[in-house]
Amino acid sequence: MHLTALPSRRRILLAAAVAAATAIATTGPTAAAPLAAGTTDSPDRQQQYAAAAAEYGVPQNVLLGVSYLESRWDTHPGQPSTSGGYGPMHLTDAEQVASTPSSAHVDENEDPRGDESRPLNLDLTAAAEPSGDTLPQASLQTLDAAANLTGESKETLRDDAAANIRGGAALLASYQQQLGGPVGAGSDPAAWYGAVARYSGADTEDAAAAFADEVYDQISQGASRTTDDGQQVTLAATTVKPDQSGLHQLGLRRAERPDGLECPVRLACEWIPAPYGEYYIPKTKTWDYGNYDIGNRPAQQKLEYIIIHDTEGYFGPSLGQVQDVTYLGWHYTLRSVDGYVAQHIKAKNVGWHAGNWYVNAKSIGIEHEGFAGHGTWYTEALYRASAKLVRHLALRFQIPLDRQHILGHDNVPGIAPANVGPMHWDPGPYWNWSHYFDLLKAPFHSTGTPHTGLVTIDPDYANNKPAFYGCNRQPPGVPKPPPDPEPCPLRGSSSVILRAAPSPTAPLVNDLGLNDKGTPNTMYISDHGARASAGQTYAIAEIQGDWTAIWYLGQKAWFYNPASAPAAKWANGFVVTPKPGKATIPVYGRAYPERAAYPSTIPFQGIAPLQYTFKAGQRYAVGGVLPSEYYRAVSFDGSSPDDRTVVRGQLQYVQVQFGHRVMYVNLDDVQIQPAAENAPR
């Protein structure tokens, strides 16, 4: 479901923000006076930063540091971020935000709780109408202010990197003048802390400070990289001890940070609780409860996973959804523009977010403001805040920092064959997993050779630009492609495309869960049935020249992997194969116990094999051996017999990278062996 109408409150806020942005640029004693135009026609990006810094009197390292925290100096030409921001300086345009529809987080065929013993009763009509502001007012419309300060058109500021950098420099200078700080390219960078904090667009003091701290940390560390349009940019490392006094002049709200908030200290984080309460359903004349279950993790049940989601909508409406007792719940939501974090559910409790009760019971769900396939991009501020949060949680709960335990929602399996298709596919092919794991301080490394039997997907994100289509039409589940799809903008992706033969013209492979006709899957943006994603490790099936085949959903799946520009890294580890004598073995979407493990007071939870085939001779990468567990939680007050208890069985399961999603096989059905043993040569 999509929301196309802009709520009236949001229209009012938008109008106010546009007016305020124009006023900042044109009126008042603190407005920045335009300086003489600098030279911006140089094709060299480093010179463009230098020219803009000189023109508007901003220390060059401050300008570079702010730009790095917004975009890593990438241009994303003509493409907005989730926050409606454009270019390397992330100049925001509220009109873009207003014109991008949000979605209900749940469609009519999907249950985020993922437990047949206690299905959800959601009013999808109400869920499709979230309320709330899209962004904090300060960050809604910096594009207009930059246009007034520079004399450039909004179109030029969106599309031209040099103009965009000038616009960002002009904004920084205007903020510095309004704070009464020194202006000049040679001024002390330490004195610009307040202006940098304001540039974040944050509406809370700790979020503005966290953004500014990241900028000054980056200035101290330095950076050098090639941008998405091939420009080399360098920020020389300079130790700066910022003067933080300007922060308090911004008059921002102090966020509530109670004891017990589960966030790292330097992360801007606030407690905005999801309600746990009962509600009456007039249609069925019954009582229900939402939007999570009480638990006692990790004392009662080990946390195995952190699930990365995107909201398929904006931050404000998403908060409105998670605070609705009749809806569903996840543990954290992150805002795009500044990396601000809201915690909703304590880690000990079980959120309803992943569509798979086994995974929900053993995971923490983190929503990121964004869209999996609209063609928008995730800000560096968002990536950094998320990585800090995930690393903190992973260390606290002893969750390994790898792609077997840090999963996208698109990697979570359906609980039964009928549930596979409606499962969500966020955060989508544009989430930069490789960069994210660099920030987690767990980068993807090569640990093997072509003969060690495994491969870890890791394409060059900036230059890997698959030709997806349908970005303007992509609800949460995986729909059928439209008759006349529009191509998506070519942009960096973490996904490699899998084909049925080692040829660029070969058809894509098939995912029976998404396309039960057995015909090839497609390049439709939400159709991930023929893709592998960065960080995922697969068993090698065959190598032919520049092409590598992996075992994928019961078939050989080929991807282009030349030595001159590899799309993956060779790896070592373990694989599973069916035990001798077994022609095929079942594959499951959850790891539940055997019937004998259940007490008489708890109904047996059957587990149906998924529609895929694991045949003798195939090999799949091992992600870990897991106990069989079922967390019983079906009543609001825990009054049902044996409610809020964990059923554990004798069965054990092996998590495998079976397709784009992880799946489970019974340990009794397989043998585990080193991947190098009998690996294809």
Q: Mind listing the pLDDT tens digit for each residue in 605-637?
A: 999 999 999 999 999 999 999 999 999 999 999
Distances 369 to 277, 310, 411, 459, 586 between C-alpha atoms, Å? 26, 6, 19, 25, 37
Establish if 158 belongs to a structural domain.
yes
**Which range has the worst mean pLDDT, 4-8, 14-18, 152-156, 203-207?**
4-8
Q: Among 217, 250, 283, where does a domain finish? A: 250
Instruction: Summarize pLDDT for 73-101 with one digit per residue, the tens.
Output: 999 988 999 888 999 999 999 776 655 65
Torsion angle defined by CA atoms of residues 428, 429, 431 and 433, in that order, rounded to the nearest 10 degrees: 120
pLDDT at residue 38 is higher than 50: no
Q: Among 198, 223, 250, where does a domain finish? A: 250
What is the b/e burial string over 441-466, where b = at least 16 CB atoms within 10 angstroms of the residue's CB?
Answer: ebebeeebeeebbbbbbbbebbebbb
Sole residue written with tokens 């940390």: 217
Q: Cα(660)–Cα(555) distance, rounded to whole angstroms?
A: 13
Q: Which band of pLDDT confidence, cut at 50, 70 and 90, is reported for residue 34? A: very low
Query: In the chain, helix, strand, coil percent, each to 5?
Result: 25, 20, 55
Establish if 472 belongs to a structural domain.
no
Who contacts 33 (Cβ-Cβ below 8 Å, separation ≥6)? none
656 and 665 Cβ atoms separated by less than 8 Å? yes
**Domain membership of residue 207 as a residue range:** 11-29+44-101+140-250
Give the domain CATH number at 229.
Answer: 1.10.530
Q: Among 250, 282, 317, where does a domain finish? A: 250
Quick one: what percent of the chain has pLDDT higher than 70? Answer: 87
- Can you read off the two tokens belonging to residue 86? 């454009």
Establish if 245 belongs to a structural domain.
yes
- pLDDT attached to residue 317: 87
- pLDDT attached to residue 106: 60
Mean pLDDT calculated for residue range 109-116:
79
- pLDDT attached to residue 376: 87
Q: Which band of pLDDT confidence, cut at 50, 70 and 90, is reported for residue 14? A: very low
Establish if 61 belongs to a structural domain.
yes
Q: Which residues pair with 487 in a beta bridge?
A: 469
Establish if 127 belongs to a structural domain.
no
Establish if 616 belongs to a structural domain.
yes
- pLDDT attached to residue 374: 81
- pLDDT attached to residue 473: 56
Who contacts 274 (Cβ-Cβ below 8 Å, separation ≥6)? 291, 292, 322, 323, 329, 330, 344, 345, 351
Q: Residue 162 is inside which H or E element, if any?
A: helix 161-178
Instruction: Summarize pLDDT for 389-441 with one digit per residue, the tens.
Output: 999 999 999 999 999 999 999 999 999 999 999 899 999 999 999 999 999 99
Q: For residue 671, which phi and psi values (nearest 5 degrees)?
A: -120, 140
Establish if 553 belongs to a structural domain.
no
Beta-strand relationship, 537-544 and 584-585: unpaired
- pLDDT attached to residue 63: 98
- pLDDT attached to residue 127: 53
pLDDT at residue 22 is higher than 80: no
Q: For residue 110, which phi and psi values (nearest 5 degrees)?
A: -130, 135
Q: Which band of pLDDT confidence, cut at 50, 70 and 90, is reported for residue 108? A: low
What is the b/e burial string over 53-66, where b = at least 16 CB atoms within 10 angstroms of the residue's CB?
Answer: bbbbbbbbbbbbbb
User: Radius of gyration (Cα) for the chain, nearest Å?
Assistant: 25
pLDDT at residue 569 is higher than 90: yes
436 and 659 Cβ atoms separated by less than 8 Å? no
Establish if 152 belongs to a structural domain.
yes
Nearest CA-CA partner of 209 in 245, 262, 258: 245
Overall number of domains in the chain: 2
